[in-house]
Amino acid sequence: MYDVAKIRADFPILAREVNGKPLVYLDNGASAQKPQVVIDAVTRGYAEEYANVHRGLHYLSNLATDKYEAVRGIVARFLGAASEDEIIFNSGTTEGINMVAYAWAAPRMQAGDEIVLSVMEHHANIVPWHFLRERQGVELKWVDTDATGALDAEKVIAAIGPKTKLIAITQLSNVLGTQVDVARICQVAHEKGVAVLVDGSQGAVHAPVNVAEMGCDFYAITGHKLYGPSGSGAIYVKRERMDEMQPFMGGGDMIRDVSKDVITYNDPPMKFEAGTPGIVQTIGFGAALEYLMELGMKNVAKHEADLAAYASERLTGLNWLGLQGTAPGKAAIFSFTMEGTAHAHDISTILDKKGVAVRAGHHCAQPLMQHLGVSATCRASFGLYNTREEVDVLVDALELAHSLLG
Ligand code: PLP
């Protein structure tokens, strides 16, 4: 049974107060809180087991290397990858997508080639492709959401043309909570010889993932949203795509031999991991993924679906609230404005006084904000430890904000 009270006790920060009120943490879409097992893994990593990895022959270096390298298998298991050699460590999704842009896309795309994107991408899955547009004349093709915030996979597929080389798409919108049928997109894209990069930053947090079944070429995740340390992350790269990639960051660890005239590279995935990595962050990331697998991502998804249904019901009852995104099956991420002149920042400040942490702004998704015709929204994003009672606290705090600002 999913015992949310017991789970909450695993997260020490949830016991604290903010502004004299119990913390109601609804900013999980930005970054999630950490369970004690992750905090312990990080503390132990520095206090007892720290040394640089891969280089030394001494005890601590071997221990740190073993702990660090074991995480590759944990990530592969979490994502359903066929082999841990398909996992490249990094500092998070932003680095993962930039790596694909520099190491895979840039060397193989010419002026006029196309990348298909959805309008609800995070800037991390937009800006690296703009670089290719600016530098190489690559064209970006955008697919819009409908009035409910749903993104029709068939519209993405219809955007594929003879010059399309890549579809770069989120599995789950960080603003609207919309889920995308990425498996369907991968299936058709591959029939047409087009690669698919899936931004799994939000998708992997809320439901089980299996990249082999999904059929994507690249799948990026970020540790801090998965209840792990910031500065940790990974990207799954299908083996044949990894073979097509050129290393883009040079330094220690990614080489086999260096002389004045030639270099030879390490085997993948290390060929794409230059320099001293986030050793302890990655070890903490492994602890977070093991924690999630123990809870069971199916159970997390079920709990969050209940929260999403309850929050939808309560929030749609507030007829002065402008809810953005009501697509069927949406995740427990709610963006909203308030009728009148209330600014998202003012709303979030009032909520904060009630101990409710939400995010206000453009959520690094400015093309989506333009599409929605708003400059900013407030966003309440739920996680595995949130409760129906916290939905009620949010609604009470919103009613207060409306009475003060409306
Ligand atoms: N993609 C999505 C959908 C996100 O929500 C985020 C973070 O908000 C990112 C990418 C970027 O993740 P990071 O900042 O951890 O690299």
What average pLDDT score do residues 99-121 get?
98
Q: CATH for 4-30+296-405, among 3.40.50.11540, 3.40.80.10, 3.90.1150.10, 1.20.58.2050?
A: 3.90.1150.10
Q: Whose CA is nearest to atom 14 of ligand 1?
A: 94
Q: Would the pTM count as exceeding 0.85?
A: yes
3-state secondary structure of 379: strand
Cβ–ligand 1 contact at 27 (below 6 Å): no
CA–CA distance, 126 with 314 (Å, rounded to integer): 33
Instruction: Categorize the per-residue pLDDT at 55 as very low, low, confident or very high, splitting at 50, 70 and 90.
Output: confident
- Classify residue 383 by burial, with Cβ atoms within 10 Å: 0-12, 13-18, 19+: buried
Count how many Cα atoms sit within 13 Å of the Cα of residue 290 in the half-sphere of its side chain.
Answer: 15
Q: Is residue 341's pLDDT more than 80?
A: no
Tens-digit pLDDT profile for residues 274-305? 999 999 999 999 999 999 999 999 999 999 99
CA–CA distance, 220 with 197 (Å, rounded to integer): 8
Q: H-helix or E-strand containing 89?
A: strand 87-90
Residues 225/288, Cβ–Cβ less than 8 Å: no
Report the atom number in ligand 1 closest to the C-alpha of 222. Answer: 15
- Could you tell me the maximum CA-CA distance found in the chain, to the nearest angstrom? 72
Residues 344/165, Cβ–Cβ less than 8 Å: no
Fold of 40-294: Aspartate Aminotransferase; domain 2 (3.40.640)
Cβ–ligand 1 contact at 232 (below 6 Å): no
Outline which parts of the chain fall under CATH 3.40.640.10. 40-294
- C-alpha separations of 30 from 25, 38, 212, 333, 386 in Å: 11, 18, 27, 11, 15
Closest to 151 (Cα-Cα) out of 124, 133, 170:
170
Residues 70/286, Cβ–Cβ less than 8 Å: yes
CA–CA distance, 322 with 316 (Å, rounded to integer): 9
Report the atom number in ligand 1 closest to the C-alpha of 172. Answer: 3
Q: How far is the CA of 295 from the centre of ligand 1 (A)?
A: 23
Q: How far is the CA of 319 from the centre of ligand 1 (A)?
A: 31
- Classify residue 130 by burial, with Cβ atoms within 10 Å: 0-12, 13-18, 19+: middle
Cβ–ligand 1 contact at 206 (below 6 Å): no
Q: Is residue 339's pLDDT more than 90?
A: no
Q: H-helix or E-strand containing 114?
A: strand 114-118
Tokens of 234: 């990974």
Q: What are phi and psi of 125, to 5 degrees?
A: -110, 25
Overall size of the chain counted in residues: 406
Cβ–ligand 1 contact at 90 (below 6 Å): no
Residue 304's pLDDT is 98
Tens-digit pLDDT profile for residues 167-219? 999 999 999 999 999 999 999 999 999 999 999 999 999 999 999 999 999 99
Establish whether 364 is a catalytic residue: yes
Q: How far is the CA of 56 from the centre of ligand 1 (A)?
A: 34
Residues 189/154, Cβ–Cβ less than 8 Å: no
What average pLDDT score do residues 126-144 get?
98
Q: What are phi and psi of 158, to 5 degrees?
A: -65, -20
What average pLDDT score do residues 60-73 get?
97
What average pLDDT score do residues 338-355 get?
92
Q: How far is the CA of 245 from the centre of ligand 1 (A)?
A: 23
Q: Determine which one of 186, 216, 364, 378 is catalytic.
A: 364
Residue 57's pLDDT is 87
Residue 152's pLDDT is 98
Closest to 167 (Cα-Cα) out of 221, 97, 223:
97
Outline which parts of the chain fall under CATH 3.90.1150.10. 4-30+296-405
